[in-house]
């Protein structure tokens, strides 16, 4: 007998359908409005969770579902009105300097299902959320890069024992002033040798001789490019640390970064999350009180620090908290890049036994009204978050002790994700409300269902039972697309829904080719079993060629496109692959189960 299924094919098809349905199921439940509370620099403790829960219960939110996910406190509500009221209650009960309280949308699936599968991520146009366009201050990048040479030049002059020299960053350039031209000419080759990224020039007047320098054009471009990329990485790390799910962070143009936070409904709170990014500096504690005054974060008391910066946060490659093997006390282990390591070694070898401080610097931007006009006000916050004694010469890797276990974890988090290469400000912001997102989902879902239903009805009418089998394959194909999107953690947007609808139409083409081939074989006088076998075997090459060429086009779209184009391309790629499985393998298993290996007089096709 021919056209019979080996057991493994039947089992494989059944397993794929069951697993596909299971992983697509979370998308049926949708999302619930929620209030999210997360620590700015720390993970919530059991005490924090208990206090937040008690606060809600005391305010009458007795039946609220509480979840703790990845260190975040989530309270789910049936309506957006209750969500907003609860947000106001929780925001008043916590310290805004330590905690972030925000509105969010979370998966409404049952607990058992959430342990197995997750729904697709939805883009801003479907889920709602906030969109920021941030402008990077590239001029500040260049100034910072050039200022870093000032301490190095001072060290070189001291090493050569040249007196009466002044080195400072003045009017956009590094200026070294010498008493004599001989001293200037002696230092010129030394400066030039150790600063290959600078353009140096010599000059003099009636009183002094000078060396001035700026970054070379190539070095300036590289600094700007590096700043943008590091800011993107820093933003992604910081937002991920704070628990905002599936952010979109990408460069736009030469000096701008797009940040999208799907599911975050509160623009103000989202600004707090973005504004939480900061820069860090390591400075020596000034000896004899000659330096710059800072306040300690812990108690606000002032402390004098040296004016020269040792290293900044953008020179930190990594940080982790742990335990000092010698003392058994909590410690933070820091890794510096090569430039930072060299500078740290030079400073610490002369300052063993002296204290060194870590300064946290944050630029907070807020809108204020002045004479009826809204302007942006930038407030620079500088706080000393740690002071520790230098016990040995430090280089690439060193540790900071003198902290509690939680303080060490907090400091490591700041060092990992708190350093921006360049300051930024928000130049554009948009909010997509969840109600608009629901409308888009409803319309997109309706278009997909209507398109699918029309195709299934037509196939059933034209190809009878075989058309019903093709309809089952189409429905399975859509389920598998949704399941794969969820497993991959891909983001579905309106263009992505368009890709699913297009795939539905393309998927049925394969069955049309197969069924028409079967009809031709039957008209040619072949047996039913031979016609079934020939229909699938002879149509396969044509189907494969058509799908491969379309897949190539979809891959090119994904590689070269951005934003909505990528969303369309990814669903198209997945749809092509799943349709090949359902339209060819899936329908053949079903056809063989119903009609294969049997003596039949006619086929319902």
52-64 pLDDT, tens per residue? Answer: 888 998 888 887 8
**CB neighbours of 454 closer than 8 A, spacing ≥ 6?**
none
Question: Do the beta carbons of residue 279 and residue 418 sit within 8 Å?
Answer: yes
48 and 84 in a single domain? The answer is yes
Question: Do the beta carbons of residue 496 and residue 571 sit within 8 Å?
Answer: yes
372 and 437 in a single domain? The answer is no
81 and 12 in a single domain? The answer is no
Q: Find residue 430's DSSP bridge partners.
A: 131
350 exposed, middle or buried (CB, 10 Å; 0-12, 13-18, 19+)? exposed
Over the stretch 62-86, which tens digit does the pLDDT of each residue have?
878 888 887 788 889 888 788 888 8
Higher pLDDT, 479 or 444: 479
> Can you tell me the mean pLDDT for 264-291?
69
Confidence band for 1, pLDDT divided at 50, 70 and 90: very low
Q: How many CB atoms lie within 10 A of CB 233?
A: 14
**CA–CA separation, 246 vs 490, rounded Å?**
9
Helix extents (H) in 161-315: 181-194, 217-241, 267-275
Q: Among 169-178, 547-556, 590-599, which stretch is predicted with the lowest mean pLDDT?
A: 590-599
Percentage of residues of the chain with pLDDT beyond 90: 8
pTM recorded for the entire structure? 0.61
204-215 in b/e burial notation, b at 16+ Cβ within 10 A? eeeebbbbbbbb
415 and 525 in a single domain? The answer is no
447 and 531 in a single domain? The answer is yes
For residue 449, give the 3-state DSSP assignment.
helix
pLDDT at residue 275 above 60?
no
**CB neighbours of 293 closer than 8 A, spacing ≥ 6?**
302, 303, 304, 305
411 and 441 in a single domain? The answer is no
Q: Is residue 256 situated within a structural domain? A: no
**CA–CA separation, 583 vs 513, rounded Å?**
10
453 and 534 in a single domain? The answer is yes
303 and 399 in a single domain? The answer is yes
391 and 454 in a single domain? The answer is no
Provide the edge-to-edge strand list for the sheet that holds 397-400. Answer: 316-323, 330-336, 397-400
For residue 390, give the 3-state DSSP assignment.
coil
160 and 214 in a single domain? The answer is yes
Confidence band for 176, pLDDT divided at 50, 70 and 90: very high
User: What token pair was written down for 261?
Assistant: 């936070």
pLDDT at 406: 63
Task: Tell me the CATH number at 201.
Answer: 3.30.70
> Can you tell me the mean pLDDT for 299-327?
80
Confidence band for 495, pLDDT divided at 50, 70 and 90: confident
**CA–CA separation, 499 vs 252, rounded Å?**
25
pLDDT at residue 16 above 90?
yes
pLDDT at 210: 92
Question: Do the beta carbons of residue 110 and residue 406 sit within 8 Å?
Answer: no
Question: Do the beta carbons of residue 240 and residue 247 sit within 8 Å?
Answer: yes
Q: Is residue 226 situated within a structural domain? A: no
Q: Is residue 118 situated within a structural domain? A: no
pLDDT at residue 417 above 70?
no
N residues, the chain? 605
147 and 104 in a single domain? The answer is no
Over the stretch 239-250, which tens digit does the pLDDT of each residue have?
765 455 567 888
Give residue 179's domain range. 140-219
> Crossing angle, helix 434-488 and helix 564-580, to 10 degrees?
50
Asked which of 359, 392, 419 is the last residue of a domain, the reply is 419
Q: Is residue 514 situated within a structural domain? A: yes
pLDDT at 374: 64
pLDDT at residue 234 above 80?
no
Q: Is residue 243 situated within a structural domain? A: no
Q: Among 90-104, 126-140, 298-312, 464-478, which stretch is predicted with the lowest mean pLDDT?
A: 90-104
User: How many domains would you assign to the chain?
Assistant: 4
**CA–CA separation, 316 vs 278, rounded Å?**
13
Q: Are strands 65-69 and 355-370 parallel, antiparallel or unpaired?
A: unpaired
**CA–CA separation, 370 vs 288, rounded Å?**
43
Provide the edge-to-edge strand list for the sheet that holds 209-215. Answer: 166-170, 173-178, 209-215, 198-204
């Amino acid at each position: 007998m021919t056209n019979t299924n080996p057991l493994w094919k039947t089992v494989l098809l059944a397993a794929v359908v069951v697993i596909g349905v299971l992983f697509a199921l979370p998308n049926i439940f949708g999302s619930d409005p929620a209030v999210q509370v997360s620590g700015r620099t720390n993970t919530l403790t059991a005490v924090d969770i208990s206090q937040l829960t008690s606060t809600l219960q005391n305010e009458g939110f007795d039946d609220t579902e509480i979840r703790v996910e990845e260190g975040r406190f989530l309270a789910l509500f049936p309506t957006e009105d209750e969500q907003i009221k609860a947000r106001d209650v929780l925001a008043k009960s916590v310290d805004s300097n330590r905690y972030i309280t925000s509105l969010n949308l979370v998966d409404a699936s049952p607990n058992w299902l959430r342990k197995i599968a997750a729904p697709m991520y939805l883009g801003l146009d479907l889920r709602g959320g906030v969109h920021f366009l941030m402008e990077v201050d590239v001029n500040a990048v260049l100034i910072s890069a050039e200022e870093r040479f000032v301490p190095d030049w001072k060290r070189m002059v001291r090493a050569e024992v040249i007196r009466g020299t002044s080195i400072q960053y003045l009017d956009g350039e590094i200026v070294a002033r010498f008493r004599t031209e001989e001293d200037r000419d002696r230092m010129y080759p030394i400066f030039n040798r150790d600063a290959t990224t600078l353009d140096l020039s010599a000059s003099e007047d009636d009183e002094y001789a000078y060396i001035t320098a700026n970054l070379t054009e190539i070095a300036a471009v590289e600094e700007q490019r590096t700043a943008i990329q590091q800011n993107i990485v820093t933003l992604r790390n910081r937002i991920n640390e704070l628990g905002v799910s599936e952010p979109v962070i990408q460069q736009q143009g030469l000096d701008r970064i797009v940040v999208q936070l799907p599911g975050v409904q509160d623009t103000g709170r989202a600004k707090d999350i973005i504004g939480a990014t900061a820069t860090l500096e390591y400075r020596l504690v000034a000896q004899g009180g000659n330096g710059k005054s800072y306040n300690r974060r812990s108690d606000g008391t002032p402390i004098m620090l040296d004016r020269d910066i040792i290293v900044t946060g953008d020179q930190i490659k990594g940080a982790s908290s742990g335990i000092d093997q010698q003392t058994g006390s909590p410690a933070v282990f820091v890794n510096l890049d090569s430039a930072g390591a060299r500078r740290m070694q030079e400073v610490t070898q002369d300052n063993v036994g002296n204290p060194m401080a870590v300064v946290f610097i944050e630029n907070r931007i807020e809108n204020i009204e002045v004479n009826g006009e809204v302007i942006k006000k930038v407030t620079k916050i500088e706080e000393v978050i740690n002071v520790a004694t230098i016990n040995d010469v430090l280089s690439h890797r060193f540790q900071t002790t003198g902290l509690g276990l939680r303080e060490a974890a907090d400091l490591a988090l700041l060092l990992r994700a708190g350093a921006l290469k360049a300051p930024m400000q928000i130049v554009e912001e948009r909010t997509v409300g969840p109600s608009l997102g629901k409308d888009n989902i409803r319309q997109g879902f309706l278009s997909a269902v209507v398109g699918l239903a029309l195709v299934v009805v037509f196939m059933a009418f034209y190809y009878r039972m075989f058309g019903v089998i093709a309809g089952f394959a189409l429905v399975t194909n859509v389920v598998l697309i949704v399941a794969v999107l969820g497993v991959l953690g891909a983001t579905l947007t309106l263009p992505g829904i368009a890709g699913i609808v297009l795939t539905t139409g393309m998927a049925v083409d394969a069955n049309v080719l197969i069924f028409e081939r079967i009809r031709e074989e039957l008209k040619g006088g072949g047996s039913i079993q031979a016609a079934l076998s020939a229909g699938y075997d002879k149509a396969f090459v044509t189907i494969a060629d058509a799908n491969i060429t379309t897949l190539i086009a979809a891959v090119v779209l994904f590689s070269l496109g951005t934003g909505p184009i990528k969303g369309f391309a990814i669903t198209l790629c997945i749809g092509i692959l799943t349709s090949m499985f359902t339209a060819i393998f899936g329908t053949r298993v079903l056809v063989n189960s119903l009609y294969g290996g049997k003596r039949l007089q006619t086929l319902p096709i």
